Amino acid sequence: MNPHDLYAVYGASGYGREVMPLARQQLAQAGVAAERLVFVDDAAGGPAQVNGQRVLTYAQFLAQPAAARHAVLAIASSAVREKLAARCAHDGVRAWTVAAANVVRMDEVRLGEGAILSPFVTLTSNIRIGRHFHANLYSYVEHDCVVGDFVTFAPRVCCNGNVVIEDHAYIGTGAVLRQGQPGQPLVIGRGAVVGMGAVVTKSVPPGATVVGNPARVMER
């Protein structure tokens, strides 16, 4: 990390305020001063500082002197994250991964750019994870899983082995995904929502919302 670069947590709401201390610690360990870290938030009339860190609009962030700019997207909505990722890439802002110091990463974990790994997250072995993944507190991903782009894990998600999670899926707090089989993974379809505390024992169609134990599709 370059001490002359500028780093941002994009989003100064609840999740951004949780990510900021992790980002600050990560930069401190790399010898980057805290003043090179800011919030970026475009909410009108917001405060100039949040929890001791400057808050800039995106335009102000781009205008700051810096050798390079990096941002991690602490935005809950995966659709908004995707739009912001494209915007940042267009403007030369580099995707930044922020991980708590106690995250466990085992063998052959391929992690896409822009991830947020909260405290006590575990990624075991032979896992492939896409871009801008959010893994909240105490979540884990077991062996031989494939996770797509812009996937969100709320706290304490239990993703067991041989599971495929497609792009933009949301897995709610305390959900459990049953282990699949080699060549026959359990699949969470693109844009699916797994409700809080759901126990998923079979694949979930794209765009579906499942709740309960065992998880069943919610009729709309």
Provide the pLDDT for residue 44. 67
Give the start-to-end residue ranges of the domains of the chain.
Answer: 6-96, 99-213
The third-level CATH classification (topology) of the domain covering 6-96 is: Rossmann fold (3.40.50)
List, edge to edge, every strand of the sheet that includes 163-165.
Answer: 109-111, 127-129, 146-147, 163-165, 186-188
DSSP-assigned beta bridge partners for residue 199: 176
- How confident is the chain (220 residues) per 10-residue block, as mean pLDDT? 90 96 96 95 85 95 96 98 98 98 98 98 98 98 98 98 98 98 97 98 98 92
Task: Please tell me which residue in 70, 90, 132, 143 is annotated as part of the active site.
Answer: 143
| pTM of structure | 0.96
Please confirm, yes or no, whether 132 is among the known catalytic residues.
no
Provide the pLDDT for residue 43. 83
| Residue bearing tokens 């991690």 | 72
CATH superfamily, with its number, for domain 99-213: Hexapeptide repeat proteins (2.160.10.10)
Closest CA to 53 of 27, 85, 78, 20: 20
In this structure, the number of other CB atoms found within 10 A of the CB of residue 14 comes to: 10
Provide the pLDDT for residue 2. 78
Domains 6-96 and 99-213 share a fold: no
Provide the pLDDT for residue 46. 79
